[in-house]
Amino acid sequence: MLFSEEIQRVFTRESWTKVNKKLMGKMLSEYMYENMIHPEILSQEGEDIEYSLGVSETKHYHYIAQKRLFDSFDVKWTTVYILENGNRKEAHSAIELLIDLQEVIGMSSETAGHLIKEMNSTLIADAHLLDKEGKTSDELIHEDYATLEGYMTGHPWITYNKGRIGFGYDDYLAFSPEQQKEVRLSWIAVHKELASFQSIEGLDYETLIANELSKEDRIRFEEVVKQNGCEPSDFYYMPVHEWQWKNTLIQNFPEELAMGRIIPLGEGEDCYLPQQSIRTFVNRTNKDKHHVKLPMSILNTLVYRGLPSERTVIAPKVTEFIKGLAEKDPFLKDECRVILPGENASMNVNHHYYSHLKQAPYQYLEMLGTIWRESIYTYLEEGEQAITLAALLYEDHNRKPYVASLIEESGVDTEQWMKQFFSVVMNPLLHYLYQYGTVFSPHGQNTIVVLKDAKPHRLAIKDFVDDVNISDQEFPELQGLSPEFKAVLRTEPPEGLTQFIFTGLFICHLRYLSNLLKNNDMMEEETFWRLLADSILNYQEKFPELQERFKLFDFFKPELTKLCLNRNRMVDYGYSDDDDRPHASEFGKVTNALATFNRNRTVGSI
């Protein structure tokens, strides 16, 4: 029987119970943060608070949690148990908890049903990660960037973080990043009447393809096109993911295939490794070649993982804009030495029928395209090592944090390491925001820390086209942008722009890093957030002429709007197939711990 060996090895009673218990702890923590559940406090001893969450008149979940700053909670997953009809029993099923919470949270049956599938997929992946060959954190700090990605455990906040709806178990084993299996990309020829090619100035299609494909591949592909009775010069060559080809493209582009406007060419020679996003690939045959981003019409962490056509088309122009700002700015270029892997070229194919359908589901408008992004390796200097921010949240099978191993290797103490970390990360992000009204979404996958001697040294930021937004204020620095360009990038009011850093970095990443450091007796919460506040205030001291913008994009407000990711799927959006991607839900306010660290310090005349 297919996969019986993997199932017997991975799906054991012990591992299944452990991944379920860990997920239950995460669910309780995040649903409390998002105000979807309101447990009762039974007792408190020191920082440990015992909670009781009633899900019916006769059934309650009991657990220990500690309060954290930013209205957060750290539920100790080993403490969760069920009290039902006065009898205590083990809590060992995340799906049971989900069903028990349906009425408490207010989920529709449709949403709960789909969510069971996403959570089971997540649990399967977690079981595989538990089974994965256990490299220690001490070993992983010496691993390569692309290899390290395969050890990551997924989004720290979203509880259904490896749902990957659309994948079969065979697809999971073949294509998930944690399996770390190299793939060869398939290629198709698309008639130039269907496809558009865009690139930065100085890079044309012929040069790109000559660099991305071997001479042998190009000759072979030309022969295939000619055998189909077509002229190669009338076509663009573009890579596609095997899963997308067999599950989406054949089914949705049969007319183009029948008429010879799309021609399958076969696989290229180069081998690639998927990164955490699943749809972005690092070239392992030649690591200096572009990283390739491809659409995959699977539903994962809120959205279908396609490539929005309007953003794909504009990707090279966004790259020129973002890199152009840094090139002319001495602080970004010479002091921060920020790395900006550009999305140098893109190709997009609109579907003839879906694109003419009024309010078509967005997944059908993102099916076929490619983005070629500069390789991070081309920017690294002697002694530099790149890691994503996500790596800093990793704990090995012995529960030793990756970041602890890094700090030990660096030879400095935790406070000095974190002080340097905040300086490296915050200075470029703040400068783009304050000076240029431009913001990235600096979450764990998009933000790359470049280390030197195991210490934070430089920042790299990627994924411009999906996650760059600009201010709706009349900043002179944004005056030259066309209305069309602004419309695609999206303009945001001041708090909306501030939220990309506040929620995208502070809430979505740093609160987990702070919790990790506290739980491992490496740093107290107050020290952690004070160091972050200091990094913001230190930047502001360097640029007092921007003080009006410091007020505009204020990271020290006592409260900010609370954005919620789990609530979006579970309550607000569900599994609707709308014409626009879902966005984070707004619900109430979050207490901003940084406000505490601003009261005793004045910068300029702010």
pLDDT tens per residue, range 155-166: 999 999 999 999
Give the model confidence (pLDDT) of 462-516 as tens digits. Answer: 988 778 999 999 999 998 888 888 888 888 999 999 999 999 999 999 999 999 9
Residues 479 and 339 in one domain: no
- Predicted confidence (pLDDT) at residue 417 exceeds the cutoff of 90: yes
pLDDT of residue 604: 41
Provide mean pLDDT across the span 101-110.
Answer: 96
Pairing of strands 40-45, 48-54: antiparallel
Provide mean pLDDT across the span 354-359.
Answer: 94
| Lowest mean pLDDT across 85-99, 236-250, 522-536, 568-582 | 568-582
Question: Which domain does 388 fall in, by range?
Answer: 384-597
pLDDT grade, residue 606 (50/70/90)?
A: very low
pLDDT of residue 603: 44
- In Å, how far from its chain's centre is CA 64? 30
Provide the CATH number for the domain around residue 31. 3.30.310.280
Q: d(Cα 571, Cα 280) in Å, to the nearest integer? A: 30
Residues 345 and 388 in one domain: no
Q: Is residue 416 part of a domain?
A: yes
Residues 495 and 367 in one domain: no
Q: Is residue 398 part of a domain?
A: yes
Q: d(Cα 273, Cα 280) in Å, to the nearest integer? A: 8
Q: Is residue 267 part of a domain?
A: yes
- Predicted confidence (pLDDT) at residue 599 exceeds the cutoff of 80: no
Residues 403 and 551 in one domain: yes
Give the model confidence (pLDDT) of 24-74 as tens digits. Answer: 999 999 999 999 999 999 999 999 999 999 999 999 999 999 999 999 999
Residues 403 and 542 in one domain: yes
Q: Is residue 304 part of a domain?
A: yes
Residues 388 and 367 in one domain: no
Provide the CATH number for the domain around residue 417. 1.10.510.40
Which of the listed residues 354, 373, 392 is the one where a domain comes to its end? 373
Q: Is residue 369 part of a domain?
A: yes
Q: d(Cα 531, Cα 597) in Å, to the nearest integer? A: 9
Per the structure, the count of domains in the chain is: 3
pLDDT grade, residue 443 (50/70/90)?
A: confident
* Residues forming beta bridges with residue 274, ordered by sequence position: 281
DSSP state of 372: E
Q: Is residue 150 part of a domain?
A: no
Residues 261 and 353 in one domain: yes
CA distances from 86 to 7, 50, 93 (A): 36, 17, 19
Q: Is residue 99 part of a domain?
A: yes
Residues 364 and 402 in one domain: no
Residues 360 and 434 in one domain: no
Please enumerate in sequence order all residues whose Cβ is within 8 A of that of 483, keeping only pairs 6 or more positions apart, or say none.
Answer: none
Q: What is the mean pLDDT of the chain?
A: 95
- Predicted confidence (pLDDT) at residue 16 exceeds the cutoff of 50: yes
Q: Is residue 155 part of a domain?
A: no
| Lowest mean pLDDT across 77-81, 230-234, 440-444 | 440-444
Left if phi > 0, otherwise alpha if psi is -120 to 50, otherwise beta: which for 457?
alpha
DSSP state of 338: -
Residues 328 and 210 in one domain: yes
Provide mean pLDDT across the span 219-223.
Answer: 98
Which of the listed residues 342, 373, 404 is the one where a domain comes to its end? 373
Which of the listed residues 373, 398, 424 is the one where a domain comes to its end? 373
Residues 538-559 as b/e (b if ≥16 CB within 10 A, e otherwise) read bbbeebeebeebbebbbbbeee
Return the C-alpha torsion angle 499, 505, 508, 510, nearest 10: -130
pLDDT of residue 144: 94
Residues 310 and 346 in one domain: yes
Give the model confidence (pLDDT) of 309-353 as tens digits. Answer: 999 999 999 999 999 999 999 999 999 999 999 999 999 999 999
pLDDT of residue 605: 37
Residues 15 and 92 in one domain: yes
